[in-house]
Structure 1
Amino acid sequence: MLANAKAVFFDFDGVILDTEWPIYQTWLKLFQSEGQDLPIETYVQCIGSDFDTWSPEKHLEELTGKNYDWETINPDRQIEIHAALQNPIALPGVRDLFEHLFTEGTPIVVVSSSSHDWVDTWLEKLKLMPMVDLTICKGDAPRIKPAPDLYLEAVRQIKLPADQCLVIEDSLNGTKAAIEAGCQTCAVPSRLTNCLDFSIADRVLGSLKELLPPARLVSE
């Protein structure tokens, strides 16, 4: 699959770093403290997008009939999330794949519905940023995933036909966005999104390691 790609576009959350699980855990903890459950199958609706797609805030308020001080709750959640990610480690195969693409001269683009502050900071901490040609994040295009805008902007900036760009996603929202943009798609479901049907993707993998030649699997 890599052989047919002139550039590789990576989603960030859940593909490069498992940020999604600690985020979900903070929501689950909050729901349980209010006597409610938050099944993964329900929460996963917002993965790869934002709360305009589905909102845990609105969902909790609907379940309880209460209003919450989100301006206080959410900063406290962010502290918990950062504590859980204190020693970040890239997901299996990420570093090897980046190094392989970088050595081959294949552009690496990170395309995320999250902010530049979030994505760029973690890429720096993971020491991956020197290999990244471009990051396209929330605010760089009119709409985020599942709209195709972020991927269309990445295609525009990388100056390649969309069908020569391979998108790696862990979310259905992101996969839909990539398909609408005309890109090749490879889904690598995370422990949150593996309950979803990714049959719309060109290929579904268990790990990024499966994209690599055996000789490149050196860091895991």
Structure 2
Amino acid sequence: MQTVIFDMDGVLVDTEPVHRYAYFRHFEELGLAVTDAEYATFTGRSTKNVYQHLKDQHGLAQEVQQLVLAKRAHFNRAFDEKPDFDLLPGVRVLIEDLHRHGLEMLLASSASHSTINRVMQRFALAPYFSHLISGEDFPRSKPDPAIFEHAAAVARSPGAECVVIEDSTNGVAAAKAAGLYCIGYNSIHSPSQDLRQADLVVADFGELSTARIAALAL
């Protein structure tokens, strides 16, 4: 393997508490009673896709983009004010190791371009990634494979030499549907996710290294 395609939420950072806060503040404003069970189904889906679903289900009058921007405003305020927001343990060490050994890294996340850029800027990660790919550029979210098919197409290595790191059921399903090797990250921040389709499952980034990733094969 010569190219590593990272998901972001739940893999690089745990923005889920920030997203949850922003979503539910906005749901209150909209008068929507979204249950925890329904919210759990949004994991791995883009914000645009979530609001299209809610608009269809609840007959919301606002345009999807207007809803997305309102939620994003809540998120941005919470993002900037949360002092303990940091990269997940071990992921910076892995990224620096991969970079030092010349492996290409891409980001393929359901998050918006705005959120991706905020994470890149806050943690100075942009120089490590050759491409930053957002799910908002695709009509369907994971488990649809389009985002990973695109990542593999723009990578400098063929698909057989690309590996995806994902933490969600939908993300793993998308990677496998795209025909890519997938490492499932069994994160405490992403509970109840089914990673059984993954080719390899790890619970700690300390289990991964350039040597181990480079030796993987479809």
- TM-score under structure 1 length normalisation: 0.76
Rounded Cα–Cα distance in structure 2 between residues aligned with 1:118 and 1:178: 22
Equivalent in the alignment of 1:200: 197
Give SS of 1:111's match.
strand
Specify which of 166, 170, 177 is matched with residue 167 of structure 2. Answer: 170
Conserved 8 A contact 1:162-1:183: yes
Rounded Cα–Cα distance in structure 2 between residues aligned with 1:85 and 1:75: 15
Once superposed, what is the RMSD of the aligned Cα atoms?
3.2
- Runs of 5+ unmatched residues, structure 2: 211-218
Equivalent in the alignment of 2:72: 78
Q: Could you tell me how far 1:23 is from its partner in structure 2?
A: 1.0
Give SS of 2:103's match.
coil
Please say which of residues 146-155 and 135-144 is displaced more in the overlay. 135-144
Q: Could you tell me how far 1:35 is from its partner in structure 2?
A: 9.3
Conserved 8 A contact 1:31-1:38: no
Rounded Cα–Cα distance in structure 2 between residues aligned with 1:46 and 1:32: 17
- TM-score under structure 2 length normalisation: 0.76
Q: Tell me the alpha carbon deviations over residues 163-196 of structure 1, each in whole angstroms, 9 at most, x when there is no partner.
A: 3211011221111111011111112244453212
Q: Could you tell me how far 1:149 is from its partner in structure 2?
A: 1.3
Q: Tell me the alpha carbon deviations over residues 6-33 of structure 1, each in whole angstroms, 9 at most, x when there is no partner.
A: 1110011221121122111333456679
Quickly say closer, same or farther: Cα 1:140–1:79, change in 2 above 3 A: closer
- Determine what percentage of the aligned residue pairs are the same residue: 27
Partner amino acid for 1:13? D
For residues 137-156 of structure 1, the aligned pairs below 5 Å read 137-138=134-135, 143-156=140-153
Please say which of residues 43-52 and 181-190 is displaced more in the overlay. 43-52
Rounded Cα–Cα distance in structure 2 between residues aligned with 1:6 and 1:102: 11
Give SS of 1:185's match.
strand
Equivalent in the alignment of 1:217: none
Specify which of 8, 15, 28 is matched with residue 11 of structure 2. Answer: 15
For residues 109-120 of structure 1, the aligned pairs below 5 Å read 109-120=106-117
Rounded Cα–Cα distance in structure 1 between residues aligned with 2:117 and 2:60: 33
Rounded Cα–Cα distance in structure 2 between residues aligned with 1:72 and 1:140: 17
Conserved 8 A contact 1:93-1:209: yes
Specify which of 162, 179, 204 is matched with residue 176 of structure 2. Answer: 179
Quickly say closer, same or farther: Cα 1:74–1:9, change in 2 above 3 A: closer
Conserved 8 A contact 1:49-1:174: no
Partner amino acid for 2:180? C
Equivalent in the alignment of 1:48: 44
Quickly say closer, same or farther: Cα 1:74–1:147, change in 2 above 3 A: closer
Rounded Cα–Cα distance in structure 2 between residues aligned with 1:199 and 1:126: 31
Q: Could you tell me how far 1:140 is from its partner in structure 2?
A: 5.0
Conserved 8 A contact 2:48-2:136: no
Q: How many residues align?
A: 205
Conserved 8 A contact 1:49-1:144: yes
Partner amino acid for 2:130? D
Q: Tell me the alpha carbon deviations over residues 87-129 of structure 1, each in whole angstroms, 9 at most, x when there is no partner.
A: 4411111111110000010001101122323213321221111
